[in-house]
Structure 1
Amino acid sequence: MAIPMPKQQDIRRLDRQGVSRSEIARRPDVDRATVARYADMDDMTPKPPMDRRRGSKIDPYAALVDEWLEADRMLPRRQRHTARRVHDRLRAETGYDGEYTTTPGYVRRWREANRSGSDGYGELVRAPGVAQIDFGVAKARIAGGLVDDHCLVVTFPRSNMRYAASLPGENAECLCHGPVEVFGHIGGVPPVIVMDNATGAGRRNARGEVTPAAVFDAFLARHRIDARFCNPYSGWGKGAVENAVGFLRRNLMVPPLEAETHAQLGRIMLDRCDALAASSRHYRRGTAIGDVFGEDRAALMPLPSTTFDPIRWESRRADQYGQIDIDSNRYLAGAALHGRTLLAAIRWDGGGCLIVCVWD
């Protein structure tokens, strides 16, 4: 019979004081065998708890649940079975009538027993100058209207420096323009950027290979940047920027910022990011983030001699009203150009559709 540690201590203390074991055994919930066991015990080192789980209603379905959980290994983490989903499937697809409280324990034990060596976490090496980029959405007032501002966040994990650019969307042109604004602000170009295949960056095939969009490929070539695409379902691959998105949304965009244009709002955001860095301390070093950023800045490549202009060229035939449709937006070329094939230049701000050529 196991008894609480305080009673064990009482037994040994009384035995040391010379109290007879028969006298100790007269106390409630203690018999002579228990007194002898703990009074004579030499090793009091705490032992690991024993698994006292008895058979449960889920046991007859264990093989089926194991099969589901094993198949999950091939799926993204966000698409795997939760304990609730396992329970619901058992109730719907089998004769299982157990309570939900049994299922989480079984799922937890299975995952602990079948955890692979790669499931652990180690501290990532933060090389100076390496940047991570990702999009986040926050409300902002542009020209008096409340809109969804697609903030492109650029963070440097080594120093924890965070920057954001204001953009109207997440297409390839915006994905290129945002970093260009940040690079110009900090006076250099990171040699490596880490990202997932965000909208506009490119397409990922079944083998996980990413083919960059043409304008984004040109952006990388112009700046001589090495882009590394991580698994979009593995947050740890670019966890620094995902944390930065939440940090800037809470600390930069509350209350919503106001500006006449996205370009103006972007300049406001960059200045406020500098102010946040000056007043924030590095989580490990204890010094201002802006000071630690000097190590990243020293590893940056120089800016190109000319600013990269992310333009996408599209060929469209004008309708009877002289309008063309690009990315669900309609642009007026002029009634005189109806039925003509037009070459249009599309820029990041959405309103920059420039007709530069007319083809018969």
Structure 2
Amino acid sequence: MHRPQPTRQPGPHVRQDGQPVKQTTGRHSSCRKPKKISDETRNTDLTKNTTMRYVHRWREANRGVPDREGYVRLEWAAGSMQVDFGVARARIAGEMADVHCLVVSLPYSNMRLCVALPGENAECLCHGLMLVFEHIGGVPPVIVMDNATGAGRRNAKGEVALTGVFSAFVAHYRLEVRFCNPYSGNEKGSVENAVGFLRRNLMVPPMRAESYGQLSRLLLERCDGLARDSCCPRLPDVPVAEVFDEERAALMPLPSTAFDPVRWESRTADKYGLVDIDSNRYLAGPDSARSRVLAAIRWDTVTLASPATGELLAEYPRQYGRSRNVEDPALVLPRLAVKPRAWRESSIRPDVPDDIRAWLDSMDEKTLRESLKAIGDACRAAGFDPAMQACGEILRSNRDMGLHADSLTPIALRMRDGEWEYPGGIEEPDLSGYDRFITGTDDGGEER
């Protein structure tokens, strides 16, 4: 199983309170320039007033010079959507994390929406847009984005090649996609402003949620609240929400079938049965060592299957990071039953509850082999957690009975289905009525 990584120390781009800092490069105030020049030239005779006077004269002389290229005021049609990513800190399942916020803006009404995702790859992009489309009840005919959002990559000729997942997404929703020119954020200035606006108004202080799905729902609710409380720039007295209700008419209807943003890849497992996907390794099982494995990669899960038979080998939560090993103990236990001496140094040993681990450590090799095989059979039938619960119940009742497949697997299956009741938790029946009938006394103990 995935081991938690040590807490990252704040770097130069993160404040001590954990909030990201928006850095600007190549831009300094007139007060900052003198120190920077003296640090670079080691000219200690440079005074602050001299530099500030020079900067002031330069600005006065060049203030009236028109921009060589200039800008064109853009008028966006109803239904057009701009898309961009931003990063903010939030607490997910009790741990602080860098949340990649997919922000969309509809410039016609100035409607701004945001969903939370763990990354900025094509699978996350498609999933986030699907959440937005379902929330607004339609599909925009045109979306505008840059080529750094997981949608595609621009080649040397200036052409953008879409990723396979996003290309299928565009075809499914019948979208027209436009990409901005490099270093031209002004071409989608509405969403650029929305990224900072929503970060300041929604993510401060950091939000808390149990999952990315819950955080996305909370963000969308808050975005709706902002739309009701703010006015459209074109119509200063009309709330954004009312203008957006009129803009809905320009949206296309949602498709009748849902889209599955999945990327299929064929990989070769190493000698341990681990498959490398995006710099993380997932266990397909020792039986799959040095063989081909088919991987279905979604935004939140990685599913491994046999390409020959289609048999499901394993399914894991998708990891975002690098150099992590993700293992299902149920796949390792059958191999340990064949090699019980590897139990004490196995990677899944810390995942076993303390009382069960201590009991297995005290067993001889023969009993350990039989017990590991029984646990492996129960894991395949009911899953790892129900199997561990069944092991604990059996050992609490009678430690000398041991772990056997004929008793362990049925209890694990009943625990998985919620049909098992612990002996200590069973409510005893009220037999006082029989006592009164047999003894002929009432509740006070007196004869009737």
TM-score by length of 2: 0.56
2:253 aligned with 1:302, yes or no? Answer: yes
2:193 aligned with 1:243, yes or no? Answer: yes
The one of 216, 234, 239 equivalent to 1:288 is 239
Q: After the TM superposition, which parts of structure 1 deviate over 4 Å for at least 4 consecutive aligned residues?
A: 78-85, 105-117
In structure 1, the gaps of 5 or more residues are 1-77
Indicate conservation of the 8 Å contact 2:81/2:143, yes or no. Answer: yes
The one of 304, 313, 325 equivalent to 2:264 is 313
2:290 aligned with 1:355, yes or no? Answer: no
1:118 partner amino acid: E
> How many Å separate the matches in 2 of 1:79 and 1:207?
28
2:131 aligned with 1:154, yes or no? Answer: no
2:161 partner amino acid: T
Structure with the greater relative contact order (CA < 8 A, sep ≥ 6): 1 or 2?
1
> How many Å separate the matches in 2 of 1:107 and 1:326?
54
What secondary structure sits across from 1:239 in the alignment? helix
> How many Å separate the matches in 2 of 1:156 and 1:167?
20
1:225 partner amino acid: L
Residue 144 of structure 1 corresponds to: 94
Measure how far apart 1:269 and its partner are: 1.4
Residue 355 of structure 2 corresponds to: none
Describe the shift of the 1:106–1:228 C-alpha distance in structure 2 as closer, same or farther (beyond 3 A).
farther
Indicate conservation of the 8 Å contact 1:130/1:296, yes or no. Answer: no
Sequence identity (%): 56
Residue 176 of structure 2 corresponds to: 226
Indicate conservation of the 8 Å contact 2:81/2:142, yes or no. Answer: yes
> How many Å separate the matches in 2 of 1:259 and 1:199?
24
Residue 335 of structure 1 corresponds to: 286
Measure how far apart 1:193 and its partner are: 0.5
> How many Å separate the matches in 1 of 2:240 and 2:258?
28
What secondary structure sits across from 1:266 in the alignment? helix
Measure how far apart 1:321 and its partner are: 1.6
- What do the CA deviations read for 1:164-192 (whole angstroms, capped 9, x no partner)? 11100001111111011100111100000
Residue 81 of structure 2 corresponds to: 131
Residue 135 of structure 2 corresponds to: 185
Indicate conservation of the 8 Å contact 1:167/1:178, yes or no. Answer: yes
> How many Å separate the matches in 2 of 1:173 and 1:191?
21
Residue 276 of structure 2 corresponds to: 325
Measure how far apart 1:289 and its partner are: 0.6
Aligned ranges 1:53-132 → 2 under 5 Å: 100-101=51-52, 104=55, 108=59, 115-119=66-70, 121-132=71-82
- What do the CA deviations read for 1:211-262 (whole angstroms, capped 9, x no partner)? 1111111111111111110124122111110111111111111222222111
Measure how far apart 1:208 and its partner are: 2.4
Measure how far apart 1:100 and its partner are: 3.5
> How many Å separate the matches in 1 of 2:247 and 2:160?
27
> How many Å separate the matches in 2 of 1:107 and 1:212?
45
- What do the CA deviations read for 1:68-115 (whole angstroms, capped 9, x no partner)? xxxxxxxxxx98898969x959x96xxxx9954466467657866874
Describe the shift of the 1:291–1:337 C-alpha distance in structure 2 as closer, same or farther (beyond 3 A).
same
Aligned alpha-carbon RMSD (Å): 2.9
Measure how far apart 1:328 and its partner are: 1.7
Residue 168 of structure 1 corresponds to: 118
2:131 partner amino acid: E
